[in-house]
Each structure stands twice: as structure tokens, then as C-alpha cells.
């Protein structure tokens, strides 16, 4: 900590502080600059010496920065060396992220990328030779003029070949490519307008202070009465599957919900296939039962239907008829004690409301670059998309957790179905078709975890983007036959499904990962600069507004979104054409980083809670059990960073196109392709998420 300078204003400054402050160059430069300003005419003879010290201190600080950069580069190089030497790739079926994906489709997709990569390398060599032979085209419009017969003529075998190649480009390749460019630009503009409208709607909500208010609260305010007598029967469900890192957190948080025990029942729906995990969860439930919590344990032997089958089986219990509402929390979610008191009142005297959805918040959003970028996306999703659709349309996609359903709405809509991997969106669409309204509460948050490794994130995104396409195929006839208004049908088909679930990943991948590199080798087809730079930057700026602390990551966010378009496009195709990987449910891996801290927080907040807290002892017990398990046998699975072949191939493709753009002096295209290629390279080498030594 810097020393006190109370004497600074009472004594003359004659350069003495220069020597003292060398121990802390972070603040000494500021003091030295003030010394130069305050010394006046009498100290001018000292200025040269003081300026020398300032320059030396700045050089010292610059050297420290260079040392930090050098250290980071050494660490990066070591990580790359480990990744390459290990030889682990996503192509290995035993550890790959797509082990259940149709191998034929996977190989074909990768082979297509490799074909374009090798073709681009050959064309780059061809173009470099042509460049040194004098084929310099400043604009594509000069091609035909230079190829017309002239007194100079075209000489040499290479010149003949290259002139034919240019004619093929101009007459056969450029027109269809330009048509594809124009089509993608139209889709890009439509999606950008939709994003802008959503942002304007969010701005209007903020400006007018619009938010859902329970009818009961409004009436109680008018009559000056309390709102503490509404405690309907609520069923709370915690579906989980082999998630021993976080089960204690969710069970503890749910058991501490501030709701009459006689009006609530907690179901722990355990689909774990690991016997040890089953035993741990069952013991946890038994301990909370001894503390007086209304909690029961359910385990299915057959995991039919994954999460949807688990919820469906639980809803078939005979005692469910006694309950009016059901709240659902995934295994890593930690609702606050007042969660039910802030959500359930929205149902009172409002029989049209079928769902009340809360917002997610993330305990590990600052863990690494990957979690920071995810936080930007999800903050926009909840703050803008969910809130705007909830206020103006009374409809949005159920997020699968941190929500309360009216059981009558679930039953009238057909209940949980196992036909897709997005059972939450499925039930929401069917409930909307039956006329139920949804309420989104942006001010009610429920903490959870973000995937910290790229492997877990890719699994999650594949499921989130393949499922909606499956659902669209299945729901399209029902939407057309439903009795909802034409505007709601159009919103469901064109905005909810086609524009936001299909067109967005399609044009992102096609425009920036396929068409843009092709225009470098076929420069007669032009992609405007504003499509490459200005509009994407504007959209990224709008996306990052709900999380203003993430502004330093706006450029990595833009590049990462284009990088993830490969996974999203692949998932969208799998779901649309019902390929093998579209039906696979993979549980997102949790780290459990928040468990211990959050449980201690519960102890501090409510040390004398009537239901008791036994978490610290359970944490110790869990550590002992885990140590014993490690001694008895080796772990079944180990974490590994690996190489992702598709992303790596696209990285080299984009970098090759960037090298080609230098020959045409296309500045903005070169920088975009260069940085986007580096982004694919970082992701392909698995350097963006959790690093495992």
C-alpha cells in the first residue's frame, strides 16, 4: 500500500521523492509528473533529471508488461505442445464429443471442410505464382479488359492457364456465388432488424418501468391488506443424473425455501446410473428428512426419455393430484429462500397464466474466457429476448428450470413428451397453442453454473440447436391447425423457429466461414465491407449491452460467435433432417465450484433455521468418501483437453484466405479473416475453456 503524503503540500519539492518512489513504480510516475508541474521556475534545473527518472520508470513498467506477455506466450506454447503431443482429438469415438453422432455424416462434413482447405491451398499457390508473373488486378472489373486480345497477347503455358481460370471465374463461378452472397445478406439484414426490434422493446420496458405485477399485490395495495395468506400446494422437483458435484447445493437450497412445509413436497428425481452417486443422493435426502424437510427420493431403473421421461414418471404419482403448481430446478440451481413467494403469487386470480419463469444468474461467470462469453449470450437472452417476448407476446421458450408451472396447464397440453431433446421448449409451444400465457420475471434470479470446458459447452449447444429443429418438424402441423390468432402463428413459425433457430446459425456459418473465404479466390463476387465489419460490430454491441462489464470482450465475443456457428450449423442440420446425434441427450458436466461456498453462506444467513443445516459435515464426509474411492480404484474418466478437427481445419482455411486477400490489397477482409482464423485456431486447440494439466 502506498505511504501517506500529508506532508506533500507543506514542503517544497526538490526532486527528493524521485529516489524514494523507485520502490513502487505503479504510483511513482504520477507523483513525478506532479513534481514536474509544481516545481515552477526555481526547479527547472531539476526537470531534466526528473524527466530521466520518469522515462526510466516507464521503461521499467513496459519491461514488466513484456515479461508478462512473454510468460503468457511460453505458457501458450507449452499448452499447444501438450495438445499436439497427446494426440487426443474429437475424432476418437471413446472420448469424442460426438461419439453418438452418425459417423457417416460426421466424416462427410469434415471431409468437405478438408476438401475446401486443400483446394484453397492449391489456389493460393496458383495465385502467388500469377502475382509474381505480373497478374496484378486492382479491381475485378479490369479482368475482362486485360483478357481481351491485344497487341501484347498472352504468352506462356502458365499465362494461358491463368487466363482460362480468370474467364471461368468471371463467367461461371462469380454469378452463382454473388447470388448466394445477396441471399445471405438479405437473411442477415432480416435477422439484424429482428435483433434491433428486440433491443428497442427492451429499452421501452426499461424506460417505462414495465414489469409483471401480481393481481393480488395490486388489490392488496388498493385495500391496504396483507398478501401473506396465499400458500397453495406446490410440488418441487429436482431432476438429476450422475451429478454428484452439485446435488448437495440444490437439495440444500430447495429445502430452505420459505414456504409452509405442509404446503410443499420436494421430489429428488435421481436418474443416476452410478450406484455410488445414487447412494450419496439417497443419504442426503434421508438426512434432510430427519431435519423435518418434506422431501422424497425417487429413482428410475430404466432411463427412458431422459429428463422428459423422468419428469413424466414423477408426475404420474398418485399424490401429485393434491398439488396445484410444480416448480422445477436442475441439479446445479440454487433458488433463494423467497423464490416461491416471488413467483407463485403471479398465478393468483389469473387463471390464464400457465408458467412463471425466473432469470438465471451464474456463480462462475468470471472463471475463464469461455464463461465470460457465455454470460454475454445468456444475459442478452434473458434481459432482452425472454423479457420482451414475455411482456409483449405472453410467450417465450421455457428454459427447463427455475420456473413454476400450473399443473393444469401441463396436463391440458399433453404433459411431458420424450420425442425431442428440448422437452422444455416442446411443452411451452404446446401450452401456447392451448392458449396459456407465460410470465417472465427479470428481477427474480436463480443461481446456477456455466460449462467451464469447451467440451461440455459444445455438448450443450448441440442439444440446444438440434432439438428446436426436431420440434419444428413435429409441431408445424399442430401450429397450422391450432385456434390461436394468425399473428401468433406467424410469430411461432417465422420468428421463433425459422429466424432465430434456423436462419441465424445457417447464415453465420455460410456467410463468414464459407462464402467470405471463397470471395478471396473469386474476387469478382464481392462481399460489402459493411456486411463484414460494421453491422456485425453493431449487433455485438447490442448483444453486450445487458452485461456492460463485458465490454472489453466485445471483439472476442464477435469472433467466438462466428466460431461456434460450426457447431450450431451442424446441430441444426442434424435436427432438421433427423440424423443420429439429434436424439442424444448428454448431461452438461458440472464443476461444483459453488457448492461449498454457497452452503456456508446458507449457514451464515440462517444459523438457527428450523429445518437445520448439516452441510459442513456433509462436505467433510463427501471429501472422505471421495478420497476412499480414489484409493480403492482408479477414476472411470479423466478430463483431457483435446484437438477439435473441424475447427482446426476451418482455422487453416480462413488463414489461407487471409493470405490470398493480401494479393488483392483487401484490408478489412484480411484483418477479419486473420482474427477469425486465429479464433478458430484457439478453439480448435481447446485453449479457450478449462485447461487440464
The edge-to-edge listing of strands for the beta sheet with 325-328 is 295-299, 264-270, 234-240, 325-328, 403-406, 353-362, 437-448
Nearest to 309 by CA among 357, 339, 255, 271: 271
Instruction: Convert 579-633 into a string of H (helix), E (strand) and C (coil).
Output: CHHHHCCCCCCCCCCCHHHHHHHHHHHCCCCCCCCCHHHHHHHHHHHHHHHHHHC
C-alpha cell at 419: 420425442
Please give the C-alpha separations between residue 357 and each of 81, 175, 347, 354, in angstroms, as whole numbers.
Answer: 46, 49, 12, 10
Cell numbers found for residue 150: 491485344
Q: Which residues fall within 8 angstroms of residue 281, CB to CB, at 6 or more apart?
A: 240, 244, 247, 251, 268, 270, 272, 297
Cell of 562: 462466428
| Cβ 514 vs Cβ 348: under 8 Å | no
Tell the burial category of 494 from Cβ atoms under 10 Å away from its Cβ (0-12, 13-18, 19+): middle
**Dihedral of CA 393/399/402/404: which sign?**
positive
The CA distances from residue 666 to 32, 181, 312, 526, 620, in Å, are 46, 17, 57, 11, 61
Burial 279-295 (b: 16+ CB within 10 A, else e): ebbeebbebbeeeebbb
CA distance 657 to 663: 10
Residues designated as active site: 271, 424
Determine the Cα–Cα distance for residues 400 and 360; give it in Å rounded to an integer.
11
- Rounded CA-CA distance 564/559 in Å is 9
Q: Find how far residue 468's CA is from the centre of its chain.
A: 17
Please count the other Cβ atoms lying within 10 Å of the Cβ belonging to residue 153.
7
CB-based contact 50:32 (threshold 8 Å) = yes
In degrees, rounded to 5, the angle at the alpha carbon of residue 406 between the alpha carbons of residues 402 and 407 is 110
| Closest to 329 measured CA to CA, from 256, 421, 229 | 256
Backbone angles phi, psi at 268, to 5 degrees: -95, 105
Q: Which three cell numbers stand for residue 490?
A: 406467424
DSSP secondary structure letter of residue 334:
B
Question: For residue 320, how many other CB atoms are within 10 A of its CB?
Answer: 16
Amino acid at each position: 500500500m502506498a505511504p501517506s503524503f500529508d506532508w506533500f503540500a507543506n514542503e517544497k519539492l526538490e526532486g527528493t521523492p524521485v529516489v524514494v518512489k523507485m520502490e513502487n513504480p505503479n504510483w511513482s510516475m504520477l507523483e513525478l509528473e506532479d513534481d514536474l508541474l509544481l516545481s515552477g521556475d526555481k526547479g527547472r534545473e531539476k526537470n531534466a533529471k526528473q524527466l530521466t527518472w520518469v522515462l526510466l520508470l516507464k521503461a521499467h513498467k513496459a519491461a514488466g508488461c513484456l515479461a508478462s506477455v512473454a510468460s503468457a506466450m511460453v505458457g501458450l506454447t507449452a499448452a499447444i505442445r501438450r495438445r499436439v503431443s497427446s494426440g487426443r482429438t474429437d475424432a476418437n469415438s471413446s472420448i469424442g464429443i460426438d461419439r453418438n453422432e452418425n459417423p457417416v455424416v460426421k466424416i462427410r462434413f469434415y471431409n468437405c471442410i478438408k476438401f475446401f482447405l486443400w483446394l484453397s491451398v492449391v489456389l493460393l499457390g496458383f495465385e502467388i505464382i500469377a502475382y509474381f508473373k505480373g497478374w496484378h488486378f486492382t479491381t475485378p472489373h479490369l479482368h475482362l479488359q486485360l483478357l481481351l486480345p491485344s497487341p501484347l497477347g498472352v504468352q506462356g503455358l502458365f499465362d494461358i492457364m491463368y487466363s482460362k481460370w480468370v474467364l471461368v471465374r468471371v463467367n461461371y463461378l462469380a454469378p452463382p456465388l454473388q447470388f448466394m452472397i445477396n441471399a445471405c445478406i438479405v437473411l442477415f439484414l432480416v435477422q439484424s432488424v429482428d435483433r434491433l426490434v428486440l433491443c428497442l422493446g427492451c429499452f421501452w420496458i426499461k424506460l417505462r418501468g414495465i414489469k409483471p405485477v401480481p393481481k393480488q399485490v395490486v388489490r392488496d395495495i388498493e385495500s391496504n391488506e396483507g398478501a401473506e395468506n396465499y400458500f397453495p400446494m406446490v410440488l418441487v422437483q429436482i431432476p438429476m443424473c450422475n451429478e454428484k458435484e452439485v446435488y448437495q447445493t440444490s437439495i440444500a437450497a430447495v429445502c430452505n425455501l420459505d414456504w409452509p412445509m405442509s404446503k410443499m413436497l420436494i421430489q429428488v428425481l435421481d436418474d443416476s446410473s452410478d450406484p455410488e452417486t445414487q447412494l450419496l443422493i439417497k443419504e442426503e435426502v434421508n438426512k434432510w428428512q430427519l431435519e423435518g424437510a418434506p422431501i422424497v427420493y425417487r429413482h428410475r431403473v430404466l432411463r427412458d426419455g431422459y429428463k422428459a421421461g423422468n419428469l413424466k414418471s414423477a408426475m404420474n404419482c398418485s399424490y401429485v393430484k393434491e398439488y396445484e403448481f410444480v416448480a422445477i430446478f436442475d441439479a446445479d440451481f440454487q433458488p433463494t429462500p423467497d423464490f416461491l413467494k416471488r413467483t407463485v403469487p403471479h398465478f393468483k386470480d389469473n387463471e390464464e397464466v400457465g408458467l412463471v419463469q425466473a432469470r438465471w444468474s451464474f456463480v462462475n461467470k468470471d472463471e475463464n474466457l469461455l464463461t465470460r462469453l457465455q454470460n454475454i449470450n445468456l444475459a442478452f437472452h434473458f434481459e432482452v429476448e425472454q423479457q420482451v417476448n414475455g411482456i409483449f407476446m405472453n410467450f417465450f421458450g421455457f428454459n427447463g428450470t427455475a420456473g413454476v408451472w400450473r399443473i393444469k396447464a401441463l396436463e391440458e397440453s399433453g404433459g411431458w413428451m420424450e420425442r425431442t431433446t428440448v422437452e422444455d421448449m416442446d411443452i411451452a409451444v404446446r401450452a401456447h397453442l392451448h392458449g396459456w400465457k407465460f410470465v417472465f420475471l427479470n428481477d427474480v434470479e436463480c443461481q446456477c453454473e456455466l460449462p467451464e470446458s469447451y467440451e461440455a459447452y459444445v455438448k450443450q449447444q448441440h442439444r440446444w440447436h438440434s432439438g428446436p429443429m426436431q420440434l419444428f418438424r413435429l409441431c408445424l402441423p399442430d401450429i397450422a391447425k391450432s385456434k390461436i390468432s394468425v399473428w401468433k402463428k406467424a410469430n411461432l413459425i417465422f420468428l421463433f423457429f425459422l429466424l432465430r433457430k434456423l436462419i441465424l446459425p445457417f447464415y453465420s456459418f455460410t456467410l463468414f466461414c464459407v462464402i467470405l473465404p471463397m470471395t478471396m479466390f473469386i474476387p469478382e463476387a464481392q462481399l460489402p465491407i459493411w456486411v463484414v465489419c460494421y453491422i456485425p460490430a453493431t449487433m455485438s454491441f447490442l448483444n453486450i449491452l445487458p452485461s456492460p462489464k463485458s465490454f472489453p470482450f466485445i471483439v472476442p465475443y464477435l469472433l467466438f460467435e462466428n466460431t461456434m456457428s460450426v457447431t450450431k450449423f451442424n446441430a441444426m442440420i442434424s435436427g432438421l433432417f433427423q440424423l443420429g446425434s439429434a436424439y442424444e441427450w448428454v448431461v452438461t458436466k458440472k464443476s461444483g465450484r459453488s457448492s461449498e461456498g454457497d452452503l456456508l453462506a446458507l449457514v451464515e444467513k440462517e444459523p438457527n433455521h428450523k429445518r437445520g443445516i448439516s452441510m459442513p459435515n456433509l462436505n467433510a464426509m463427501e471429501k472422505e468418501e471421495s478420497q476412499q474411492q480414489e484409493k480403492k480404484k482408479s477414476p472411470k474418466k479423466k478430463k483431457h483437453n483435446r484437438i477439435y478437427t473441424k475447427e482446426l481445419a476451418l482455422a487453416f482455411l480462413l488463414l489461407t484466405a487471409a493470405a490470398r486477400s493480401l494479393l488483392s490489397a483487401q484490408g478489412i477482409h484480411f484483418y477479419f479473416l486473420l482474427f477469425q482464423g486465429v479464433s478458430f485456431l484457439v478453439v480448435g486447440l481447446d485453449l479457450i475453456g478449462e485447461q487440464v494439466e
